[in-house]
Amino acid sequence: MSRKDTGSSANKQHRLNVGSEKPVNAGFGLREMTKIGGAPLLRNLELAEQFVAGAAACLRDPRCSAQIKYQFFQMLWQRVLLICCGYEDAVDGQLLAHDPGLVLALGFEPILQTSMCRFENNMNAANCYRLAVWLVLDYISRKQKVPKRIRLDFDGSCIPTRGQQQGSSFRSYYDTQMYFPLFVFDEDGVLITAILRPGDAVESLLTVPVLKRLVRAFRSTWPGVEIIIVMDAGFAAPKVYDWCEDEGKEGGSGVVHYLIKLKNTGGGLRSYSQDMAKAAKTSFTKRHGPAKYEGSGTTKNDVVKDIRKESNKVERKKKLQAHNERVSHIYGEFMNGTGKGGKCKKQWRQKRRILTSCVHDDWGGRRFFWVTNIVGGNPEDLINEVYSKRAHSAELGIRDMKSLRCDKLSCENFFANQGRLLFQVLAQRLLLKFRELLPKSSQNWSLETIREQFIRIPASLDEKARTKELHWSGSFPYKNHMHALCQRLTKQVPENKDWLSIFFTFIKSLTARRPVAA
């Protein structure tokens, strides 16, 4: 897209009064500047890793080949790149058309909004399925070693909708019109897949079908891998337990282990844990005395806020430590089954292992329960080392996804919004790989911090006879990080692969019949 500056506007300057000893003149210079100076680094990473190129090769293009101006890769790369840069809408490519950093990172002139909107709305069910399958293939192919165990963290989240969008529904718990997508993360926080669901869907909807496909894909590549699924209380459904336990029967490759939190509503669960709750209360009373705030209406936030008002840093730290130590935990387990027998829909087909954690602090006692088919293992270790880690993978992963604006699903068509959600997964994979190349001190930074510190940074671009010079600010605070990142990027060698053949080979392995046990 051409740009033409008039002589008067290019040369005009303004005298600013900023209280400086020297006068300040402001105007437009001749050097080209960009506000996304780190975007070309993403282009370098994409050429080496081929996240978007592989995905685009697996999609089916419904357009007439003689009338194609932009390839699928170009449109998909523009969408993913702009999402990584913090611009989640199709119109942003048109608004940033004159940004030299965007043009350099794209490798072509930005595509107009009309073409990008047609691309999004052409994401039908078949292409969404292909893209979702490719994301699983990409996840498997990037594992350098055969894993012994994979933990899958399932979680749902509220995605507010805008307007009369297909599949959106009002949900009273969130008090909004919304979608309710299903996210599946691994233990490292990598988003394996994201399935869009209607807003009125129960939390366990599509859990078993998605689980079937993921388990089959993983075990077709790694036959002996152990799979553990971790879910919160919203996924507590007998159909999930039954499928996991039946996976090892009738020629299956092994039982899928699960650790799922239960809703604390059953009288039977509380009766079995009565002695543990009393023990927790007794332990707390012996160590700390009676509960301070039980029944007083004072919340934990109120107490912490009062402690943080302490001006002395040492005293404030001591008070917070003393406050956190005033708690007693008792862990235990028992066998139990729910339901009233007969044709009760909540009836379990067998008794299962229940883990419990009884907590007593200054606000009284609380009890938490989990159901699992894991044999052996200390209840305390299973709760704290397996279940509690989902806070780092699933919950922080959803936070990162929302920082990429996965909640901006503004298309009218349901499958177009499903496609946009999968574009967000691609962007997350690209940024996670980008973060891996940074020094270890920044490995725990959120994706939003990575974007703001290394991608959305100002830079100047000078084009010479034989080279293009990209210059970041001399006052950039993370110069050493940027030098290390660039050194690692330049060492990566681009590798061209026949992704379509790899994709079809993977599909055949998934559709092959499983051996039946004798």
For 83-99, write each residue's pLDDT tens digit: 999 999 888 888 898 89
pLDDT of residue 514: 58
Residue written as tokens 């043009």? 103
pLDDT of residue 197: 95
For 405-415, write each residue's pLDDT tens digit: 998 898 999 99
Task: Give backbone dihedrals phi and psi of 248, rounded to 5 degrees, phi first.
Answer: -85, 5
Q: How far is CA 428 from CA 85, 139, 258, 272, 493, in A?
A: 11, 12, 26, 44, 22
pLDDT of residue 267: 67
- CA–CA separation, 482 and 66 (whole Å): 43
Contacts of 471 (CB under 8 A, 6+ apart): 459, 460, 461, 462
Here the tokens at position 332 are: 């235990």
In this predicted structure, the answer to whether residue 336 has a pLDDT above a threshold of 50 is yes
Least confident of 84-88, 295-299, 455-459: 295-299
Q: How far is CA 354 from CA 239, 271, 330, 338, 386, in A?
A: 17, 13, 14, 11, 15
- CA–CA separation, 174 and 159 (whole Å): 10
- CA–CA separation, 97 and 3 (whole Å): 10
- CA–CA separation, 408 and 75 (whole Å): 18
In this predicted structure, the answer to whether residue 497 has a pLDDT above a threshold of 80 is yes
114 vs 338, residue with greater confidence: 114
The residue-averaged pLDDT of 463-481 equals: 90
Selection from 342, 432, 360, 475 nearest residue 84 by Cα: 432
Mean pLDDT of all residues belonging to the chain: 89
The proportion of the chain whose per-residue pLDDT surpasses 70, expressed as a percent, equals 94
pLDDT of residue 153: 96
In this predicted structure, the answer to whether residue 268 has a pLDDT above a threshold of 80 is no
In this predicted structure, the answer to whether residue 154 has a pLDDT above a threshold of 50 is yes
For 17-41, write each residue's pLDDT tens digit: 887 778 888 887 778 899 999 999 9
In this predicted structure, the answer to whether residue 3 has a pLDDT above a threshold of 60 is no
pTM above 0.75, yes or no: yes
pLDDT of residue 7: 54
Residue written as tokens 């209840």? 379
Least confident of 129-133, 248-252, 299-303: 248-252
pLDDT of residue 62: 86
The residue-averaged pLDDT of 397-412 equals: 91
72 vs 511, residue with greater confidence: 72
pLDDT of residue 84: 95
The residue-averaged pLDDT of 49-78 equals: 91
**Rounded (5°) CA angle 168-174-176:** 45
Confidence of residue 490 (pLDDT cuts 50, 70, 90): confident
517 vs 360, residue with greater confidence: 360
pLDDT of residue 119: 92
- CA–CA separation, 241 and 372 (whole Å): 8
Q: Residue 361 in 3-state DSSP? A: strand
pLDDT of residue 348: 87
In this predicted structure, the answer to whether residue 182 has a pLDDT above a threshold of 90 is yes
pLDDT of residue 250: 57
The residue-averaged pLDDT of 371-379 equals: 92
In this predicted structure, the answer to whether residue 104 has a pLDDT above a threshold of 70 is yes
Spatial contact of 357 and 246, defined as CB atoms under 8 Å apart: no
How many Cβ atoms are within 10 Å of 64's Cβ, its own excluded? Answer: 7
In this predicted structure, the answer to whether residue 240 has a pLDDT above a threshold of 70 is yes
Confidence of residue 517 (pLDDT cuts 50, 70, 90): very low
In this predicted structure, the answer to whether residue 251 has a pLDDT above a threshold of 60 is no
Least confident of 129-138, 212-221, 263-272, 430-439: 263-272
Confidence of residue 279 (pLDDT cuts 50, 70, 90): very high
As a whole number of Å, the CA-based R_g of the chain is 27
Selection from 136, 147, 127, 152 nearest residue 207 by Cα: 152
Q: Specify which of 65-79, 103-117, 347-361, 418-432 reaches the highest per-range mean pLDDT.
A: 418-432
Task: Give backbone dihedrals phi and psi of 458, rounded to 5 degrees, phi first.
Answer: -70, 150
The residue-averaged pLDDT of 127-136 equals: 96
The residue-averaged pLDDT of 448-474 equals: 91
The residue-averaged pLDDT of 298-306 equals: 89
Least confident of 55-59, 246-250, 313-317: 246-250
* DSSP strand pairing (226-231 vs 149-156): parallel
DSSP letter (8 states) at residue 471: E
CA atoms within 13 A on the CB side of 223: 6
- CA–CA separation, 201 and 261 (whole Å): 19
The residue-averaged pLDDT of 178-205 equals: 94
Confidence of residue 394 (pLDDT cuts 50, 70, 90): very high
What is the per-residue burial (b if ≥16 Cβ within 10 Å, else e) of 267-290? eebeebbeebbebbbebbeeebee
pLDDT of residue 254: 79
Spatial contact of 406 and 195, defined as CB atoms under 8 Å apart: no
Contacts of 152 (CB under 8 A, 6+ apart): 184, 185, 186, 192, 211, 214, 227, 228, 229, 230
Confidence of residue 343 (pLDDT cuts 50, 70, 90): low
- CA–CA separation, 75 and 326 (whole Å): 56
- CA–CA separation, 132 and 425 (whole Å): 9
Contacts of 312 (CB under 8 A, 6+ apart): none
The residue-averaged pLDDT of 176-196 equals: 95
